[in-house]
Structure 1
Amino acid sequence: MIESRPSELPYIERVWRSRSDDVGRMMSVATSHWELVFWEHQGAMQAAVLGPETKASHAPVPGDADFFGISFALGTSMPHLPVSRLVGGNAEIPDVTRRSVWLKGSAWHVPDYDNAEAFVRRMVREDIVDTDHVVPAVLGGAAPDVTDRTLQRRFVAATGQTQGAIRQIHRARQAAVLIQEGVSSQEVVHRLGYFDQPHLARSLKRYVGRTATQLSAPDPQEPLSLLYKPGPMGPA
């Protein structure tokens, strides 16, 4: 079971935590956001930066482990660890203990679910994370004041993906949540602008790893990764 919450901090998309019990693997849903994740397993603390995922995939889950993650807002990145190199992958953070984690040569207290904002504020102050404000503005519907080529370059630099790929993933996640809430596939097609039901089915399979029927009857032995009702995204 995953517990999550939004954040008032513009650098953060979501904060979440979970515990694995009798689950050996999960379906990792495609996401455009990179994450900083900490987990404790068999008394050892570990941490990693997880890059965006462009498609759904199966992921192993260690038993009896506690997880905590910060999902960062689109446009926010770590200049010393380009997100474009992390798409579909991750970067392990070494020398983590229950009390401390090393970031760019400095020791930090390990954050938790309740103080994630303080941790990220320090990351901002020390220039570990930065934001290209054009990215969230354009995704929200604002007209860019740069050329298409420049905009594409800035999207890839800040998110590792094109604007089109981000919108496709966002729409598929919206569709999955609606279907889980009991909305019919036909209505989802109409609301979200899919061409037809086969188009929706292909999108769900690629980005969520589930059919509409499977989303309506979740499998407790293979749960989905963090999936929540995303906020609105402006027109392309």
Structure 2
Amino acid sequence: MGLEIENRPSELPYIERVWRSRSDDVGQMTSIATSHWELVFWEHHGQVRAAVLGPEPKACPAPVPKDATFFGVSFALGTSMPHVPINRLVGGNAEIPDVTRRSFWLKGSAWRLPDYDNAEAFVRRMVREGIVDCDPIVPAVLEGATPDVSERTLQRRFVAATGLTRGAIRQIHRARQAGVLIQEGAPAQDVVHRLGYFDQPHLARSLTRYIGRTATQLSAPDRTDALSLLYKTSSSVPA
């Protein structure tokens, strides 16, 4: 019952995560904050639809069609579709028209619908055809590099590539890490020290804003109150 979600990492640097899910007797979920944009396909009552979902700067309620199946590709930070400016998608989405069970149209070409197992081949084609691009400065900085550009230039490129500032990305990433740690049983005080929060009230405000849950709610999740994908990453909090 509820929202069943399966996900996996990818070896392709353009992809952050590949996921699929099924809704069962659930009409709404809490969509937690995310700094990544996604390409999502879903089928409901025999109709297939698709959309580009932008970054979510805070947790918010989201409708879920009952008895539907979903598949999505979450793209890595710095990756974008130049013909769809990401700053227009922050907190929103752009639906893709003319989707069938077999194909959909993207930038003037017909594409076969991807699935959970061939997402990498699909994204490689997007890269080859120039539909997806990546600003290399973003992943470099997130991995600790210090590029020879001004701070102003760096911030401008981050916003252009991700739709968010470095500070917003850092806060979202830290809150998601905190949520995972608390779900795994870590005491709130330990999470405060481990992730650099000022104190427990600071952690509580972060969880409420970005995850839409308190530490108590994360410790004892209610399956009837669905939460979007929250996964453990191997990366540290962005600099």
What is the Cα deviation at residue 231 of structure 1?
Answer: 2.6
1:110 aligns with 2:117: no
- Aligned counterpart for 1:87 among listed residues 90, 107, 122: 90
Relative to structure 1, the CA distance from residue 219 to residue 235 in structure 2 (aligned partners, 3 Å threshold; closer, same or farther) is closer
| Deviation per residue, 1:122-172 (Å, 9 max, x gap) | 000000000001001101111121111110110000000000100000000
| Deviation per residue, 1:58-114 (Å, 9 max, x gap) | 111000100000000000000000111100000000000010011111001000000
Root-mean-square deviation over aligned CA pairs: 0.8
Match of 1:36 in 2: 39
Q: Name the CA distance, whole Å, in 2 between partners of 1:163 and 1:144.
A: 14
1:20 aligns with 2:23: yes
Match of 1:133 in 2: 136
Please give the TM-score of this superposition, normalised by the length of structure 1: 0.99
Q: Name the CA distance, whole Å, in 1 between partners of 2:39 and 2:238.
A: 29
* Matched ranges for 1:1-236 at <5 A: 1-233=4-236, 236=239
Regions of 4+ moved over 2 Å:
233-236
Contact 1:29 1:209 survives alignment (8 Å): yes
Q: Name the CA distance, whole Å, in 2 between partners of 1:234 and 1:199.
A: 16
Q: Name the CA distance, whole Å, in 1 between partners of 2:159 and 2:234.
A: 21
Counterpart code for 2:119: A
Unaligned runs of 5+ in 2: none
Q: Name the CA distance, whole Å, in 2 between partners of 1:196 and 1:50.
A: 33
Counterpart code for 1:90: N
Q: Name the CA distance, whole Å, in 2 between partners of 1:51 and 1:111.
A: 19
| Deviation per residue, 1:159-214 (Å, 9 max, x gap) | 00000100000000000000000000000001000000000000000000000000
Unaligned runs of 5+ in 1: none
Contact 1:34 1:71 survives alignment (8 Å): yes
Identity in percent: 80
Q: Name the CA distance, whole Å, in 2 between partners of 1:224 and 1:100.
A: 30
Please give the TM-score of this superposition, normalised by the length of structure 2: 0.97
What is the Cα deviation at residue 235 of structure 1?
Answer: 5.6
Report SS of the residue matched to 2:226.
coil
Counterpart code for 1:3: E
Counterpart code for 1:175: A
Contact 2:173 2:237 survives alignment (8 Å): no
Counterpart code for 1:135: V
Query: What is the aligned length?
Result: 236
Q: Name the CA distance, whole Å, in 1 between partners of 2:225 and 2:36.
A: 22
Report SS of the residue matched to 1:204.
helix
